[in-house]
Structure 1
C-alpha cells in the first residue's frame, strides 16, 4: 500500500515540477526582420533576442503592434514561459512565449 502511494506520488511529480511562469516585463527592443519573424528583447527573461514564433500572420502582426505600443507607452507586457520557473531566469536565444498580455 505504501509502495503504491509512493510510486503514484513519484509518477506525478514531473507534471508539477515545471508549471511555467508569468513575467511582467518592459520591452527594450522590437524588430520586424526581412525574413518575416519578429524579434524582441525584454528587461528580464529575454536579454538576448527572443522571437514571436507563431504560425498565423495575423497573430504575428498583433504581437508586433503590442510590442511597439508597450515600448512607446513605457508599459509592461506579461509573458507566459512554460520552460522557466522564475522571472530571473534567462530564456535561450530565440525562445518564443506561449502567450502575452498587455
Structure 2
C-alpha cells in the first residue's frame, strides 16, 4: 500500500498510510478539509482541486482535456493543478505530496 500527504491551505500536513483508491476517495474517507468530491468522482465539479508538488508532476501525469476544461474555471488553478478524483494511487505514487487548493 502507498502513502500520500495532503497539505491543507493553512500548512497542516496530513499523512495517510495504506492509501488506496483515488486521491478524492482517500481524502473524503479521511475527512481532509477542502476536498468535498461533490460529483462523486466523475470529473465534473472541481471540489477536489489539488496542486501536485513539482517533483511528482511527471509521475502523476497531466490532466486530460475534460479535466483541463473543469480546471479552467478555477481561479486558483495553475500548471500543478489536478482534480484528485482523477489520480489513482499506486505503488509508483508511494510518498506522493499534494496541496489542497484554497476554496474559490
Give the TM-score normalised by structure 1.
0.29
Give the TM-score normalised by structure 2.
0.29
Larger Rg: 1
Q: Which has the higher contact order (CA 8 A, sep 6+)?
A: 2
